[in-house]
Amino acid sequence: MARKLAGRRLIALTFNAIGQYGGNMVAAAPWSLCVFFLSLPFALLASKSVGAIQFVFLLLALINLLALARMTFAWMDVVASRDVVIEQPKRPANAEAKHLALLVLFVVVAGAVLRASADIPLWLYFALNSGGDAKFFVALFSLLGLIWVPTIYAGAVYVPSLPRAASSGEYGFKVVRQTMVFRRWPLAIVLFGLVVSAGVTKTLVVDVARRVTLSGIAYGLLGMLICTAMMVIAAVMAAVAYRESSRGSEENIGGAAVVV
């Protein structure tokens, strides 16, 4: 079994790729990026909407998801598919559809984890029947750890399948897991940061919807910017991890650190 490369190298290659391909990434899907950002607050509020307006919010949430899929597909194509070292296979027509399906799965799982994390404290409070603060927090963090740790680790293992689907039209879950050349903790941290930033941004947007204030709007916009930035980092890091793992040799990776 090959020795895993340091996670610091994956981080360095990721930010080098953002610096080198950032302009190309924006140019690849500029309208999708705009639509994603503008529809993000409505997507975050979709689960809180009621009545006749709920259909509009759900429609905007769907538009937001499609824009997210389109821009991440384009970004990963820029980073992962334009590598002169790797001979890229001919991409089938259903590659974007497969990318969308896997992305929807990731979004659904992340939403379920956030929802469970929000409901657990109240459920646990009544389940323990006021058993004391120490007992409550120990049980709370233990349950959250049981939910978050395996979920984030699984995401770090299989998220490179997104750029693989974008490049070749195949998920290759087993291949992606076996050929990963980097340690996975950078991907795990970035995915955790992405999910947490989305959850915090949702809370901020909900507060603005309930009571509009200038500070609330400012914090909401800041949260949306952070969430979008984390999305960029996660997409590029997944694409870099797939690209470098596809090269299949540590010598090529060492050379790429100079080029990328």
Q: What is the mean pLDDT of the chain?
A: 85
Q: Which two tokens stand for residue 254?
A: 């060492």
pLDDT at 246 > cutoff 50: yes
71 contacts 32 by C-beta, under 8 angstroms = yes
Helix (H) or strand (E) holding 161: helix 161-168
From the list 126, 67, 128, the residue with the least C-alpha distance to 100 is: 67
H helices present in the chain, as ranges: 7-28, 30-45, 53-80, 95-128, 133-158, 161-168, 173-179, 185-210, 214-247, 250-259
Cα–Cα distance for residue pair 76/185, rounded to 1 Å: 20
The pLDDT tens digits of the residues spanning 116-167 come to 888 888 888 888 776 677 888 888 889 999 999 999 999 999 999 999 888 8
pTM confidence score:
0.86
Spatial neighbors of 253 by CB under 8 A, at least 6 apart, are: 5, 9, 181, 244, 247
Amino acid of residue 237: M
Higher local confidence (pLDDT), 54 or 49: 54
- Pair 220, 41: CB distance under 8 Å: yes
Between 3 and 77, the more confident residue is 77
At residue 49, what are phi and psi to the nearest 5 degrees? -80, 150
Band of residue 230 on the pLDDT scale cut at 50, 70, 90: very high
- For range 187-191, the mean pLDDT: 95
Q: Is the pLDDT of residue 85 over 90?
A: no
